[in-house]
Amino acid sequence: MKNLLLVAATEFEIAPLLKWLETIKAPETNLKFSFPELEVSVLLTGVGLPLAMFQLTRALTIARYDLVINAGIAGALDKQLELGAVVQVVSETFADLGVEEADGSFTDLFKLNLINPVAPPFQDGKMVNTFGSAYDFLPKVHGITVNKVHGYAPSIDNLKRHTNAKVESMEGAAVFYTCLMYQMPFLEIRSISNYVEPRNRDAWEIPLAIENLNEVLIDVLKNMLAGLLENRYE
């Protein structure tokens, strides 16, 4: 029996996937779907780093999984990424864990010598998904995780000065940190709902991002089930 843990901040982001799962298999218990050779558990953490890290740590303390998939929407720092594009985030950084200086610049805790930038799970201050190379079906990008979604032009400019990341989320680094420390294979899959620019909700494409994200997630599960169960659940 293979065990998959699907992690999302909100039910809203993966609602189409949950609906699809329920059409082929009624959940045995709360958000757990058991097939003959695959068990799919769904963990809704809530929004933000503290909630995601606590909920995932608790889940991984209780059970071992063959794969953890973190799925959700994200903002793009790079406008070459189209709204609705689905990507695999292969590295993460705690982007606002540090000090705001008097001149408005930012110094992270690694440069302040408060965290060793090469102590596990960090590699030069970043966290790299060492398991992600086994999955090559999506464009790969670097991500940052923040405690606030950026929507003020000076803050955005300052952010872009100290990162070369392509996407911004509020939970990704928590999943990276926890899974790397537990040595648990994982993926972070994000769909672009908006650009990181002065806040303008009218320009966001959340429904498109959720639709595309869930199409990918359903394809992933179909392929897993097909490989294990010979297309029984197509």
Antiparallel, parallel or unpaired: β 167-169 and 140-145: parallel
User: In angstroms, rounded to a whole number, what is the distance separating the alpha carbons of residues 44 and 7?
Assistant: 6
User: In angstroms, rounded to a whole number, what is the distance separating the alpha carbons of residues 179 and 30?
Assistant: 23
Residue 56, pLDDT score: 97
> How confident is residue 27, by pLDDT bands cut at 50, 70 and 90?
low
Which stretch, 5-14, 32-41, 198-207, has highest mean pLDDT? 5-14
| DSSP state letter for 33 | E
CA dihedral of 23, 29, 32, 37, whole degrees rounded to 10: -90
pTM of whole model > 0.85? yes
Region 185-210: mean pLDDT is 93
Domains of the chain: 2-229 (3.40.50.1580)
> How confident is residue 228, by pLDDT bands cut at 50, 70 and 90?
very low
Q: What is the pLDDT of residues 143-174, one digit of tens each?
A: 999 998 888 888 888 888 888 899 999 999 99
* Residue in this structure with the two tokens 């690694």, named with its chain if needed: 110
Does residue 112 carry a pLDDT above 70? Answer: yes
* Residue in this structure with the two tokens 């090559």, named with its chain if needed: 136
Q: What is the pLDDT of residues 78-104, one digit of tens each?
A: 999 999 999 999 999 998 888 888 887
Half-sphere exposure of 124 (CA within 13 A, CB side): 2
User: In angstroms, rounded to a whole number, what is the distance separating the alpha carbons of residues 218 and 196?
Assistant: 27
Does residue 109 carry a pLDDT above 70? Answer: yes
What would the two tokens of residue 56 be? 């995932």
